[in-house]
Amino acid sequence: MTIVLYENSFVTLEEAEAYFDERFDSDAWTNQESKPDDETKEKLLITASKKVNMFDFVGNQADSSQPMAFPRDFEMPQDIKDAVCEEAYSLLTDKSSVHKQNQENNISSISLGAGSVSYNAPSSFGEDKLLCSPTALYLVKKWVKKGFYTE
């Protein structure tokens, strides 16, 4: 699969490579021995872009017939590109632990013999659960519509 900017991805592979060259702790993306091939990286960026695309962004699309939310009536925010990179990295490295799965399934505590584990109540609902990466969510939320439209 090939990236076509603004048709299936908000970030080119070259932009992602530059982002990860400067990002601390990006070995899973950049390490020569274990890094994914370019096709896998493109798939990760496309998947991450589609996830980011699900949000309701401020402003208007530059063209009503475009397939994705960007470009808009303002310059493409670097935050959105960074969010796609962060989400792609999270998709690559996220090995869901039993504890994370339990929290996602709204399990509040588990006891096994004398041991027990308690989880905090879920803090997010709706669009806050669309992305795996908390960093990506933070970056995207800056550009998401807030409140309600009333006439």
Between the CA atoms of 82, 84, 87 and 92, what dihedral angle is there, to the nearest 10 degrees?
A: -110
pLDDT tens digits, 89-103:
999 988 655 666 666
6: closest CA among 63, 57, 82, 44?
63
pLDDT of res. 34: 74
The pLDDT assigned to 137 comes to 94
| Pairwise CA distance, residues 108 & 99, whole Å | 10
Q: Which pLDDT does position 21 carry in this prediction?
A: 94
Q: Which residues of the chain have pLDDT under 50?
A: none
Q: What is the pLDDT of residue 35?
A: 78
Query: Side chain identity at 132, as an amino acid letter?
Result: C
What pTM value is reported for the model? 0.79
pLDDT (tens digit, 9 = 90+) per residue, 30-52?
887 777 999 999 999 999 999 99
The pLDDT assigned to 98 comes to 64
Tell me the longest C-alpha to C-alpha distance in the chain: 61
